[in-house]
Amino acid sequence: MNQFLQQLINGLSLGAIYALIALGYTMVYGVLRFINFAHGDVFMLGAYVGLYARRYLAGQTQAGPSLGLAVSVLLISMAVCAIVGMVIERLAYAPLRNRPRLTVLITAIGVSLFLEYGGQQFFGAGPHFFAPIIPSYKMHTGALSITSNELIVFSVTFVLLIALTFIVLKTKLGTAMRALSFNPTAASLMGINNSVVISFTFGLGSALAAAAGILWAVKYPAITPLVGLLPGIKAFVAAVLGGIGNIPGAALGGLILGVTETLVVGYSDLLHIPPSYKDAVAFVILIVILLFKPSGLLGKTTSEKV
């Protein structure tokens, strides 16, 4: 039982990171009906910006890991990536607003590859080491142990989710976002500036992805410019699992995926599935969902009108 709970904690902390990335996918899809293939690479950028920010800040102040350092790194990375996300949208996606989704999808693949291989060019192929930003310790309750890494993942994710819920439900921009996801034409007729809202959505999603990137780097400190590939695709699966376009769904999907993946590895003997199949878990879930309930767990099935 203890092992199960321990695995659960591990799985939830992984799932929290997936959830943060998945939220960006789902918000952009909700507003534009478009899968931003490059989102996983913003996650990667977040980790790298954090790495450089940490070097700079720690260098300036000669400080070691601390809460203050962690918060500063997070905020800097989130701000930078929010801007990057908005710039990408303006340059590569906005001009294609009236083109079929296929064209934009191909462009997104191009942006993704550009970020990955440009990253290799700019940062080097890696791996690069992300120095700790919080002091490490372990908490023990009974037979379970929770490390500071997991604590920071849970607390940051919790705070960000609360903030996101507030933004989406209580602010004008958030409400505009929801309006756009239902009916862009009506939204603009109501006086909403669609372009601004779309930019905002990209910025918000990118900030969350950046936070996810930092949290990932805290857990797995060796990062490369290609680090966004797998988590990006898996987070997308999580978003589809929860119901693409549905914000609580993305969070739920992320958690489910993280837990499932961890349990498959943790119980690989029992399940007779070699741990090296863990990456396939996400894809199998994807296929199953697409075949049986493409609208996801929390999504609504909409029939197309002809």
Partner 1 sequence: MDSLLELRDCTMQFGGLTALSKLSLQIGPRDLVGLIGPNGAGKTTVFNIITGIYKPTSGTIQFGGQSLVGRKASAIAARGVARTFQNIRLFASLSVYDNVRAAFTMHLKHGIAHALWRGGSFGREESEISDQVIDILKIFGLEDQRDVECKSLSYGDQRRLEIVRALATRPKLLLLDEPAAGMNPREKEELMELIQFVKEKYQIAVLLVEHDMKVVMGICMRVAVLDYGEKIAEGTPADIRKNPEVIEAYLGEEAKGPPPAPTL
Partner 2 sequence: MRPKIYFLIGVLVSFLVWYFVPMDQYIREIVLTIGINIILAVSLNLVNGHTGQFSIGHAGFMAIGAYFSAWITTVGAPTWWPSLDLSGGLAGTLVFLGALLAGALLAALAGLLIGIPTLRLRGDYLAIATLGFGEIIRVVIQNTEVVGGSRGFSVAYGYATIFWTYLFAALTIYVVANLVNSAYGRGFLAVRDDEVAAESIGVNTTKYKVIAFVLAAFFAGIAGGLYSHFKQYLHPDRFNFITSIEVVVMVIVGGMGSTFGVIAAAIVLSLLPEALRFIPQFYQQIFGVSLPHLVDDLLKNRMMIYSLLLIILMLTRPQGIFGGISGRPAFLFKRKSVRADGLAS
Contact yes or no for 29/244 (Cβ under 8 A): yes
When asked if residue 98 is in the footprint of partner 1 (CB under 8 A), the reply is: no
Q: Interface with partner 2 by CB under 8 A: which range of 51-59, 116-124, 156-164, 216-224?
A: 116-124
Minimum distance of partner 1 from residue 188's CB (angstroms)? 22
When asked if residue 306 is in the footprint of partner 1 (CB under 8 A), the reply is: yes
When asked if residue 280 is in the footprint of partner 2 (CB under 8 A), the reply is: yes
Could you give the CA distance from residue 170 to residue 34 in angstroms, rounded to a whole number?
A: 25
Structure tokens at 74: 């997070």
Q: Interface with partner 2 by CB under 8 A: which range of 47-55, 126-134, 250-258, 290-298?
A: 290-298
When asked if residue 277 is in the footprint of partner 2 (CB under 8 A), the reply is: yes
**Three-state secondary-structure class, residue 272:** coil
Q: In this chain, which of 240, 251, 255, 264 binds partner 2, going by CB under 8 A?
A: 240
Minimum distance of partner 1 from residue 303's CB (angstroms)? 6
Of 1 and 306, the one with the shorter C-beta distance to partner 1 is: 306
Of 194 and 295, the one with the shorter C-beta distance to partner 1 is: 295
When asked if residue 18 is in the footprint of partner 2 (CB under 8 A), the reply is: no
Residue 113: contacted member of partner 1, partner 2, none (CB under 5 to 8 Å, by partner type): partner 2
Q: In this structure, is the dihedral angle defined by the CA atoms of residues 178, 183, 186 and 188, taken in order, positive or negative?
A: positive
Restricting to residues 198-227, name those near partner 2 by CB under 8 A. Answer: none
Residue 303: contacted member of partner 1, partner 2, none (CB under 5 to 8 Å, by partner type): partner 1
Helices of type H across the chain: 2-32, 39-61, 67-88, 101-123, 148-170, 172-182, 184-189, 194-219, 229-242, 247-266, 268-271, 278-292
Could you give the CA distance from residue 298 to residue 219 in angstroms, rounded to a whole number?
A: 29
Structure tokens at 130: 């992300």
**Three-state secondary-structure class, residue 140:** strand
- CB burial class (10 A; 0-12, 13-18, 19+) of residue 124? exposed
Q: In this structure, is the dihedral angle defined by the CA atoms of residues 213, 218, 224 and 228, taken in order, positive or negative?
A: negative
Radius of gyration for the chain, computed over Cα atoms and rounded to the nearest angstrom: 19
Residue 236: contacted member of partner 2, partner 1, none (CB under 5 to 8 Å, by partner type): partner 2
Distance set, CA 148 to CA 145, 199, 205 (Å): 10, 35, 25
When asked if residue 99 is in the footprint of partner 2 (CB under 8 A), the reply is: yes
Restricting to residues 264-303, name those near partner 1 by CB under 8 A. Answer: 303
Residue 255: contacted member of partner 1, partner 2, none (CB under 5 to 8 Å, by partner type): none
Chain residues that interact with partner 1, rule: CB under 8 A: 303, 305-306
Chain residues that interact with partner 2, rule: CB under 8 A: 33-35, 92, 95-96, 98-107, 109-114, 116-118, 120-121, 229, 233, 236-237, 240, 274, 276-277, 279-280, 283-284, 286-287, 290-291, 294, 304-306
